[in-house]
Amino acid sequence: MEEFVFITLRDDPSLEETAAEWFHSKWGVPEEAYLACMESYLENETEYGWYLCLDGNKIIGGLGVIENDFHDRKDLYPNICAVYTEEEYRCKGIAGHLLNMAVNDLKSKGIAPVYLVTDQTGFYERYGWQFLCMVQGDGEPEMTRMYIHP
């Protein structure tokens, strides 16, 4: 993994618009929503950050931390969101490294536990996440799995 560079958006704020566009292209959430969250982080209004993996100057993986990732358990926060690794870079430990980076960064700021929602089983457990409960996603007919990282 030494050819990849892992950073927070604060490490290189010039990537803000590129990152917002990249996350939007993966998840369909409006770029403006990403930009608003990123701006709050860059202006030190929140410690809920954005974490990126770069191959050269290309974003190949990333995730964010937000208050609530579109579910009914508003009492369970903050939430890891938008975890994504480009398909050709998967199975190289990138997402796991980003997850650990975010959890450790938040813990260093006194923010724990951290939560995430996913339909995945087996992946997050490898990185210390534990199944917590089922939650109702906003506008979703099916319940979704919520994990906690203590």
Please state the domain extents for the chain.
Answer: 5-112
Complete edge-to-edge strand list for the sheet that includes strand 58-66: 5-8, 50-55, 58-66, 79-85, 114-118, 143-149, 130-136
Question: From CA 149, how far away is CA 89, in angstroms rounded?
Answer: 25
What's 124's DSSP letter?
A: G
5-112 under CATH 3.40.630.30, yes or no: yes
How would residue 2 be classed by pLDDT, with cut points 50, 70 and 90?
low
Q: Does 3 or 128 have the greater pLDDT score?
A: 128
Give residue 13's pLDDT band: very low, low, confident or very high (50, 70, 90).
very high
In sequence order, what are the residues at sequence separation of 6 or more whose Cβ sits closer than 8 angstroms to the Cβ of residue 109? 47
Mean pLDDT across 27-54? 97
The pLDDT of residue 135 is above 90: yes
Kindly tell me if the per-residue pLDDT of 7 is higher than 70.
yes
Whether residue 105 has pLDDT greater than 60: yes
3-state SS class at 61: strand
Q: How far apart are CA 42 and CA 48, in angstroms?
A: 10
| Predicted pLDDT at 1 | 52
